[in-house]
Chain A
Amino acid sequence: MTIKRILFVDDEEDIRTVVKVSLEKVGGFTLQICSSGKEALQAAPHFRPDLLLLDVMMPEMDGIATLSALREISELKEIPVIFLTASVQEEQVAKLKEHGALDVIPKPFDPLTLPEVIKSICE
C-alpha cells in the first residue's frame, strides 16, 4: 500500500521534532503530530491517516490504549500501525505484535533511514 499520511503520537517534544524533520523533510510524508492519545483521537477523524506511528510509553493513554481508542473510529478500523518504542524487552515487543502492530521500531532510530524503514515495513 502507498503510505502518504502518517499520524504520529509521542509525548516527548524533542522526539516529535526529530520525527517531523525525518518524515516530512527526508521522507516527504504528510504528518499529523500529536503529543497524547487524547489529542490523536481529536485529530484523527479530520486527518484521515494511512498509517499510525505510535510511541508506547506515554502518560494517561499508552500506545496500546491509544491504538484501541483510534480503532474505535470506523474509518480507522483496519488502519496499519507501527510502534516506536524505547523498550527492548522481548515480551513487550511480542505484546505489541499481538495487538496487531505491523512492526516495532526500536528507539533510538536513525532519522535519515526512518522513512525507508517505514516504507519497507508497509510493503
Chain B
Amino acid sequence: MGRLQRNYSPVSFRRYLLATIVPIILILWGTFLTTDKFRSDIDFIDKEIEGLAIVENLYDDILILQKIRGRRQLRIGGDNGQSENIDELTYKLISRLENKLSVMPHYSHDQIKEVVRYLKEVNDNLDDTEQPLRQFDQYTVIIEKLIELINTVSDNSNLTLDHNMNTHYLGRVVVSYFTEIAEHQGQIRGLMAYGIQNRRQMKLVSDRVIYKIMSYEQDLKKLKRNIKVLNNINRATKPDLFNHIKEWEQSTKDFIIEVKKMIPVSGNKIASRNVFESGTQTLKKNRRAYQSIKRELLVLLQERISYLQKLLILTSGAGGVGFLLLLGTTFILYHSNRKAFGVINISHKELKLSEIRHRTILETVADGIITVDNNGVILVYNSAAESMFGYEIKEAAGKNIEMLLPGVEIYPKEKHYEIEGVNKNGKIIPVELAANEMILDDKKMFTVVVRDITERKKMDKLKNEFIAMVSHELRTPLTSIRGSLGLINGGAVGKVPSAAQEMLQIASNNTERLLLLINDILDIQKIEAGQMAFRFQNVPLMPLVEQALRENSAYAEQYGVRYVIDHRLEEARVFCDPDRMMQVMANLLSNAAKFSPRDETVEVSVARNNDTIRISVTDHGSGIPESFQKQIFEKFTQADSSDVRNKGGTGLGLNISKLMIEKHGGHISFITSEGLGSTFYIDLPELIGAHKTGESKNFQRVAKKKSASILIVEDEPDVAMLLKRMLAEAGYNSDIAYDASQARQLLKENAGHYKLITLDLVLPGEDGVSFLNKLRSDDSTRSIPVVVISLKAGETKRLTGGAVDVIDWMQKPIDQFRLIHAIRQTTAPDQIPRVLHVEDEIDVHKVVKLMLQGHCELVSSPTLAASKEALNKEEFDLVLLDIGLPDGSGLDLLELIEKQVVPPKVVIFSAQDVPESYADRVKAILIKSQTDNRRLAEVIIGAMKNGSSEM
C-alpha cells in the first residue's frame, strides 16, 4: 500500500485541490446567490412601500376630486352652501399634483401633467347651465385618469397583482382593486346626489348606477379571490390585516345594498337622501378600513425587510467564515504535505499511475474479467480468470474464449446468464456471465465478467439436501407413530379398552396435524425455492370446481355445512395445474366450512370479472376481524391462536394458496364483513377466445349431428341422475336402469336405440361383470360400446378385451369431460383426431399407442426428417413431440407446426428439460421420468378435446 500511496500523490493532489477549491467556489457562489436574492427582495419591497405611499397620495387626490364633483352637482342642483370652495379645492388639488412632479418617478410625469391640464380646462370652462350629467362625466374622466396613473405606479412599484403572489407582495392585492372600487363607490354616490337634485333624469342615472354596481361587484369578486389566496398564506400570522380586509369587504357590500335600495326609491327625495346618507356612512367605514389595511401592510413589509436584512448579514457572514476556514485548511494542508505533493507536471506518469490503479482494481476483484475482440479472441484477462481457468495469460492470449467457455455468447440477450466453463484440467465450473461491448480505437471489443458460482450451486444443493433430510427425518418417526396408531385404531392388533380409545384418537388426530404441517412447510419451501413443478394445462374450470366440491363435501359435513354452486360459467377455461388448483380450492372450501355456523351453506361461484375468471367462495361466518385482515395471507396465521385448536389447520393454507395462485399468474383476495361472512376469491387469467369455442357448445354440435341415446346402468339414484345430467348438458338423451335385468329389458324394448352403455360394476343382485358377459354373448348387444364406471381401478383389467368393446373406464367421482369425450369418440367416430407421434424409441411409441387406443389415430414418426415430411403432407390435430431425435431437436419442428393453416396442438413428451420459453408455444410439457401413463393419457386427451374444438 505504501508504494501505491507514493505513486498516487499527484493524483491525490489534484483531488485534494478539487476537494478544497470546489467547496470554496460553491460557498462563494452560494453566498453570492443567496445574498443577491435577499437584496433584490429588499429592493422589491422598498419599491412596494414607496409605491403604496404614492398610491395613497393619489387616492387622496381622487377623494378631493370626488368632493369637487359632488359639490358641482350640489351647485347645479341649486345648493350653493359649499360651492364657493370648489375653486379653492380645485387649486389645492392642482398644486398637490404639480408638487408631485418633483417627487414622483419620471414615468408618471406625463400623466400627472395631463391630469392637471384637464382639471384646469374643466374648471375654467364649466358652465353651471350645462347638462349636469356631462359635468359629472367630465370630472369622472379626470378621476379615471388618476386611476390610470395609480395603475401605472402600481405597475412600476411591484404593486400589480400577478399569479405568483408571495407573502411580502401584499401591497399588490389591496392597491390594485382598492382604488377602482373606491371610485366606483364615489361615482355611485355622486350619481345619487345628482339624482336627488334632478328627479326628471333619475331614470338615466339609475341605469348608470346599475351599470356601476355591476362592475363594482365584479371587482369585489376579484378582490375576494385574491384575499382568499392571501388567507391561505397569511391569516394565521396576520389576523389583524385579515380582519380589516374583512371589514372593508363588509362595508363595501353594505354600500352596494344601499345603492340597490336607491333604485326603487328614485324620484323620492327623502328616501334618496336617506340612502345617500347611509351610503356616505359606509364609505367612511370603507376609508377607515382601507387605512388600517394599509397600516398593517406597511408593518408587514417593514418586518419582512428587516428579516431579509438580518438574513443578508448572516449569510454573508457565514459565507465569509466558511470561505476563510476552507482557505485556511487548504493552506495548512498544502504546507504540511508540500513535499508529498511534489511534482505536478507529470501527465505521462499520471497516465501510468492511472493504469496501475485500474490494474490493481482488476487484480483485486474476485470475478474473472476477460477482454476479447470481435471474433472472441482473448486479449487480456485478470488473475481471477487465471486462477479460475488455470491458464496463465500467456497461454490464453490469442486463443478463442470458447476454449474457456464453450458456447459463450459475447452478444448475450440477457444481462446475466449461467453457463459452464472448463478449466485447464477439464473440470467443469458453473459460472455466471455478464458481457459488455466497448469501442476502443474504433475497434469493437467485449468485456466478459465471469463469476464462479460453484459455491452458490453447492449451497443450493446443500439446501435441497437439507430439505430432503428434514423431510425424511420428520417423516420416518411419524410413519411409525401414525402406522402404529392406525393399526391399533383399526383393530388390527386386537380390541382397545374404551378408556384408551379416546386417548388414542387424540394421538391420532395430532399425528395428522403434524403431518399436514410438515407437508405444508415443505410445500411453501418448494414454491419459494422454485422447485415445485406446475403442470399447466388448458382446462375447463367448471368440472374442476365441481370435483373440488365433491371431494371436500365430506369435510363440510363434519361442520354441518353444505357447498352449493350459485353461479356457473360453463365455457370458462383457464391455464392451470389442476392438482394445485384442487389444493387451493380445498383450502378455501375447508376454511369456509370451518368458519361457518352449522346448517349454513357455502356458496361457490364462477364468473367473468373483466379479463379474468373469478372463483368465489362465500361463507356466512363471523367475518375476519379487521386487525387480522392484513396478515391473513402470511405464514402461520389464524385469527385467534386458540383457533388452531378449535378449528384445526396449520395456519399455512392461505399462504400456500397465495403462492400457488401467483404462480398461475392469478390473484387471491377476500371481501369480509364482520358478522356477515367472508368471500375469498381467485382471479385467474381467462384463456382468450376459449369461451367462443367452448367445450359444451362443441358437444352440442356433435349431439345435433348424431343425437345418440345412452343407457345408464347404475343402482345409486344420485349417481344415475348426475350421469343423466352430465349427458344432457352435452346434448345426449339417456335412460336409467337401476339393475341388470332392468337394463336388459330396456335394451330389448329399444333394440338398436342405444349407442352406448355406462355401467357400474357394483349392482344389486346380478353384478356388472355378469351383465357384461351376457351382453357379450348376445349378438344384438355385442357391439354396443361400454364405459365402465367403477370404484376400483383394478377391476377393469378383468374386463378389457372380448367381444364387448369397453372404450373407457373411470373411477368415481366421475370426470364429466372424460366421460363426454369417451362418448364422443364412439358416437362420432368420423371425428377421431389424428396425432403425429414424433418419437425415436419404438417402445415408448407402443406404450403410447396402447394408451390412446380408441381416442385417436396415432401416426408414428421416428425422425425429424420424417416428421417434417408428414407435417407437410398431412393434417394432424396434435403432435406429441420428443426432443432428442437422432437427426436433431424436436423443438425445431415447432416453427413448421406453427406455420400450418390449422396448427396442430403440441404436447412435448421428452426426457430432457425444456426451457421455459417454450411453455407458451405448446399445450403441455411432460417430462418422461416424471409422468406416469395415466397423466400422459389425460394430458393428450385433454389437449385433443381442446384442439378439435377449434377445428
In this complex, the member of A19, A95, A109, A112 whose beta carbon has the largest number of chain B beta carbons within 10 angstroms is A112
Closest to B795 in A: A123
Q: Does A14 contact B (CB under 8 A)?
A: yes
A contact residues around B792 at 8 Å (CB): 120
How many residues of chain B are within 8 Å of chain A by beta carbon? 32
Q: Does B468 contact A (CB under 8 A)?
A: yes
A contact residues around B164 at 8 Å (CB): none
Q: How far is the CA of A85 from the CA of B490 in the complex (A)?
A: 23
Q: How far is the CA of A15 from the CA of B476 in the complex (A)?
A: 8
Q: Does A57 contact B (CB under 8 A)?
A: yes
Q: Does B503 contact A (CB under 8 A)?
A: no
- 1/0 per residue, CB under 8 A from B, across A4-29: the answer is 00000000101101110110011000
- 1/0 per residue, CB under 8 A from B, across A21-41: the answer is 110011000000000000000
Q: Check B464–A18 contact: CB distance below 8 A.
A: no
In this complex, the member of B467, B476, B515 whose beta carbon has the largest number of chain A beta carbons within 10 angstroms is B476
B contact residues around A123 at 8 Å (CB): 794, 797
Q: Check A25–B492 contact: CB distance below 8 A.
A: yes
Q: Does A86 contact B (CB under 8 A)?
A: yes
Q: Check A22–B492 contact: CB distance below 8 A.
A: yes
Q: Does A110 contact B (CB under 8 A)?
A: yes
Q: Known contacts A57-B472, A94-B927; decide if A109 and B797 are in contact (CB<8 Å).
A: no
Q: Does B484 contact A (CB under 8 A)?
A: yes
Q: How far is the CA of A14 from the CA of B487 in the complex (A)?
A: 13
- 1/0 per residue, CB under 8 A from A, across B455-490: the answer is 000000000100110011011111110111011001
Q: How far is the CA of A98 from the CA of B467 in the complex (A)?
A: 22
Q: Check A18–B929 contact: CB distance below 8 A.
A: no
Q: Check A14–B493 contact: CB distance below 8 A.
A: no
Q: How far is the CA of A17 from the CA of B488 in the complex (A)?
A: 13
A51 to chain B, nearest CB (A): 16
Q: Does B793 contact A (CB under 8 A)?
A: yes
A46 to chain B, nearest CB (A): 27
A114 to chain B, nearest CB (A): 8
A contact residues around B490 at 8 Å (CB): 26, 111-112
Q: How far is the CA of A22 from the CA of B488 in the complex (A)?
A: 11
Q: Which label, helix, strand, loop or mixed, suits the secondary structure of the B interface? A: helix
Q: Known contacts A25-B492, A87-B472; decide if A94 and B929 are in contact (CB<8 Å).
A: yes
Q: Does A107 contact B (CB under 8 A)?
A: yes
A85 to chain B, nearest CB (A): 8
Q: How far is the CA of A19 from the CA of B482 in the complex (A)?
A: 12
Q: Does B930 contact A (CB under 8 A)?
A: yes
B contact residues around A98 at 8 Å (CB): 929
Q: Known contacts A18-B483, A109-B483, A120-B793; decide if A89 and B471 are in contact (CB<8 Å).
A: yes
Q: Does B522 contact A (CB under 8 A)?
A: yes
Q: Check A21–B492 contact: CB distance below 8 A.
A: yes
Q: Check B492–A14 contact: CB distance below 8 A.
A: no
Q: Does B533 contact A (CB under 8 A)?
A: yes
From 773 to 794 in chain B, residues with beta carbon under 8 angstroms from any chain A beta carbon are 792-794
Q: Does A90 contact B (CB under 8 A)?
A: yes
Q: How far is the CA of A114 from the CA of B4 in the complex (A)?
A: 75
Q: How far is the CA of A85 from the CA of B476 in the complex (A)?
A: 9
B contact residues around A94 at 8 Å (CB): 927, 929-930
Q: How far is the CA of A112 from the CA of B508 in the complex (A)?
A: 14
Name B929's contact: one of A12, A22, A85, A97 (CB within 8 Å): A97
Q: Check A14–B486 contact: CB distance below 8 A.
A: no
Name B479's contact: one of A57, A107, A120 (CB within 8 Å): A107
Q: Does A92 contact B (CB under 8 A)?
A: yes
Q: Check B492–A111 contact: CB distance below 8 A.
A: yes
Q: Which label, helix, strand, loop or mixed, suits the secondary structure of the A interface? A: helix
In this complex, the member of A15, A92, A107, A109 whose beta carbon has the largest number of chain B beta carbons within 10 angstroms is A107
Measured as residues with beta carbon below 8 angstroms from the partner, the interface class of chain A is 20 to 34
Q: Does A59 contact B (CB under 8 A)?
A: no
Query: What's the A-B contact tally at a CB cutoff of 8 Å?
Result: 91
Q: Check A89–B464 contact: CB distance below 8 A.
A: yes
Q: How far is the CA of A89 from the CA of B465 in the complex (A)?
A: 10
A contact residues around B486 at 8 Å (CB): 110-112
Q: How far is the CA of A57 from the CA of B475 in the complex (A)?
A: 12
Name A18's contact: one of B471, B472, B484, B930 (CB within 8 Å): B484
In this complex, the member of B486, B493, B533, B792 whose beta carbon has the largest number of chain A beta carbons within 10 angstroms is B486
Q: Known contacts A19-B483, A87-B472, A88-B471; decide if A14 and B477 are in contact (CB<8 Å).
A: yes
Q: Check B480–A112 contact: CB distance below 8 A.
A: no
Q: How far is the CA of A123 from the CA of B296 in the complex (A)?
A: 104
B515 to chain A, nearest CB (A): 6
Q: Check B471–A86 contact: CB distance below 8 A.
A: yes
Q: How far is the CA of A85 from the CA of B469 in the complex (A)?
A: 12
Closest to B930 in A: A94
Q: How far is the CA of A107 from the CA of B793 in the complex (A)?
A: 22
B contact residues around A57 at 8 Å (CB): 472
Q: Known contacts A15-B483, A94-B929; decide if A86 and B493 are in contact (CB<8 Å).
A: no
Q: Check A108–B930 contact: CB distance below 8 A.
A: no
Q: Check B471–A87 contact: CB distance below 8 A.
A: yes
B contact residues around A120 at 8 Å (CB): 792-794
A contact residues around B794 at 8 Å (CB): 119-120, 123
Closest to A26 in B: B492
Q: Known contacts A21-B487, A111-B486, A123-B797; decide if A14 and B480 are in contact (CB<8 Å).
A: yes
A contact residues around B477 at 8 Å (CB): 14
Q: Known contacts A18-B487, A107-B479, A111-B486; decide if A88 and B522 are in contact (CB<8 Å).
A: yes
Q: Check B483–A111 contact: CB distance below 8 A.
A: yes
Q: Check A22–B930 contact: CB distance below 8 A.
A: no
Closest to B522 in A: A88
Name B480's contact: one of A15, A87, A88, A119 (CB within 8 Å): A15
A contact residues around B482 at 8 Å (CB): 108, 110
Q: How far is the CA of A93 from the CA of B471 in the complex (A)?
A: 14
Q: How far is the CA of A121 from the CA of B593 in the complex (A)?
A: 35
A81 to chain B, nearest CB (A): 16
Closest to A96 in B: B929
Q: Check B478–A90 contact: CB distance below 8 A.
A: no
Q: Check A112–B487 contact: CB distance below 8 A.
A: yes
Q: How far is the CA of A18 from the CA of B485 in the complex (A)?
A: 9
Name B487's contact: one of A15, A22, A86, A92 (CB within 8 Å): A22
- 1/0 per residue, CB under 8 A from A, across B813-854: the answer is 000000000000000000000000000000000000000000
Name A108's contact: one of B492, B515, B533, B797 (CB within 8 Å): B515
Closest to B472 in A: A86
Q: Known contacts A87-B471, A88-B471, A88-B522; decide if A21 and B479 are in contact (CB<8 Å).
A: no
B492 to chain A, nearest CB (A): 5
Closest to B467 in A: A89
A95 to chain B, nearest CB (A): 7
Closest to A11 in B: B476
Closest to A103 in B: B932
Q: Check A14–B472 contact: CB distance below 8 A.
A: no
Q: Known contacts A14-B480, A14-B484, A123-B797; decide if A21 and B493 are in contact (CB<8 Å).
A: yes
A11 to chain B, nearest CB (A): 9
Q: Check B493–A25 contact: CB distance below 8 A.
A: yes
Closest to A93 in B: B930
B contact residues around A21 at 8 Å (CB): 487, 492-493
A contact residues around B930 at 8 Å (CB): 90, 93-94
Name B468's contact: one of A26, A87, A107, A111 (CB within 8 Å): A87
Closest to B533 in A: A90
Q: Known contacts A110-B486, A120-B793; decide if A92 and B479 are in contact (CB<8 Å).
A: no
B contact residues around A97 at 8 Å (CB): 929
Q: Check B479–A18 contact: CB distance below 8 A.
A: yes
Q: Check B492–A112 contact: CB distance below 8 A.
A: yes
From 515 to 567 in chain B, residues with beta carbon under 8 angstroms from any chain A beta carbon are 515, 519, 522, 531, 533
User: 10 shortest A-B CB distances, which residue pairs?
Assistant: A18-B483, A14-B480, A86-B475, A94-B929, A108-B479, A107-B479, A112-B490, A86-B472, A123-B794, A111-B483
7 pairs of residues in contact across A and B, judged by CB atoms under 8 Å: A14-B479, A19-B483, A25-B487, A87-B468, A90-B531, A90-B930, A112-B490
Q: Which residues of B contact A (CB under 8 A)?
A: 464, 467-468, 471-472, 474-480, 482-484, 486-487, 490, 492-493, 515, 519, 522, 531, 533, 792-794, 797, 927, 929-930
